[in-house]
């Protein structure tokens, strides 16, 4: 638990470094919320017989809903290429030198932007391979079910559980992938292997803290869920939860990587 305690302590002392992440996540959430509100308003309007005069009424609402939905997705996608390099860069500078301010955000982004692109492409390739393998396994299971009946269904259930456990374990093993690129400047392949190598020595610590932080964030979201009823302000307030969760996990990842590679923390 010392890693989690240290990560939380770092987050509290260096709260100002969370601002870029919070702002970008809040903007993405606001746009997404606008899309959902527009969609709900359109559905409620069409539910009124007096407003629904023809199928044309339905089709007129589709472009607006799609524009807001796609727009929020694009904003969230672009925002990630800003807040990930910025967040990890600022955390690394603070751990490396003992000092980091928002004035360092430009350098953090420029130093880690290309690294994040390479990391992003790497995760896409790996997820694609895993996805294809998963589909092939499921097709095989469907074939076995048709041939073996009851035994095949039981086998499929076991395989599904095994696949779920594999995804969780793989996520933990690769959780230091980007931190290793930021701290040591490793290329995407070397960083991938380095992450697996390090996490294997502390797998249950990494997995346990990841699950614990996720549970706490989920509980906090449930408790503060009533704020979501407040227009605009509610979305901004609730954005603080995933912001803090993401930042704490980023700090934890950087700290455990630095310790396992013998790097002192300033």
* Model pLDDT, residue 225: 79
* Position 40 confidence tier, pLDDT thresholds 50, 70, 90: very low
The rounded distance, in Å, linking the Cα atoms of 229 and 225 is 8
Question: Please, are residues 78 and 100 in contact by the beta-carbon 8 Å criterion?
Answer: no
Stronger pLDDT, 58 or 232, i.e. the higher one: 232
90-106 average pLDDT score? 93
Query: What ranges do the domains of the chain cover?
Result: 2-260
pLDDT value, residue 157: 85
Q: Is 231 helix (H, G, I), strand (E, B) or coil?
A: coil
Q: Which residues contact 173 (CB under 8 A, 6 or more apart)?
A: 195, 196, 199, 200, 203
Which of 22-26, 110-114, 186-190 shows the lowest mean pLDDT across its residues? 22-26
Report the pLDDT value the prediction gives residue 27, as an integer from 0 to 100: 83
> In this predicted model, which residue has the larger pLDDT, 74 or 117?
117
Whole-number percent of the chain with pLDDT over 70: 83
> What's the whole-number average pLDDT of the chain?
84
105 in Cβ contact with 116 (< 8 Å): no
Report the chain's terminal Cα–Cα distance, integer Å: 20
pLDDT greater than 90 at residue 158: no
Lowest-confidence segment of 46-60, 231-245, 247-261 by average pLDDT: 46-60
- pLDDT for 46 equals 47
Identify the burial level of 10 via C-beta atoms within 10 angstroms of its C-beta, where 0-12 means exposed, 13-18 middle and 19 or more buried: buried
The pLDDT assigned to 66 comes to: 58
Residue 208 predicted with pLDDT over 50 = yes
Mean pLDDT value of segment 150-155: 75
């Amino acid at each position: 638990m010392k890693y989690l305690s240290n990560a939380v302590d770092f987050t509290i002392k260096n709260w100002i470094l969370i601002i870029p992440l919070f702002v970008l996540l809040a903007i993405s959430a606001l746009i997404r919320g606008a899309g959902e509100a527009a969609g709900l308003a359109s559905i409620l309007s069409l539910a009124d017989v007096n407003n629904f005069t023809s199928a044309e009424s339905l089709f007129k609402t589709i472009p607006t809903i799609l524009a807001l939905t796609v727009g929020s997705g694009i904003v969230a996608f672009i925002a990630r290429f800003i807040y990930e390099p910025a967040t990890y860069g600022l955390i690394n500078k603070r751990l490396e030198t003992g000092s980091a301010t928002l004035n360092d955000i430009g350098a953090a982004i420029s130093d880690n932007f290309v690294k994040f692109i390479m990391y992003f492409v790497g995760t896409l390739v790996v997820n694609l391979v895993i996805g294809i393998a998963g589909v092939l396994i499921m097709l095989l299971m469907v074939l076995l079910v048709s041939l073996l009946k009851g035994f095949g269904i039981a086998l499929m259930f076991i395989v599904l559980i095994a696949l779920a456990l594999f995804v969780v374990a793989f996520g933990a093993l690769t959780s230091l992938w980007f931190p290793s690129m930021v701290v040591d400047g490793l290329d995407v392949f070397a960083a991938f292997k380095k992450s697996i190598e390090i996490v294997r020595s502390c797998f249950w610590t990494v997995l346990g803290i990841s699950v614990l932080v996720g549970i706490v964030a989920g509980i906090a979201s449930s408790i503060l869920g009533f704020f979501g009823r407040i227009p605009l302000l509610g979305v901004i307030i609730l954005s603080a939860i995933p912001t803090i969760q993401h930042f704490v996990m980023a700090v934890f990842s950087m700290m455990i990587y630095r310790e396992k590679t013998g790097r002192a923390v300033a």
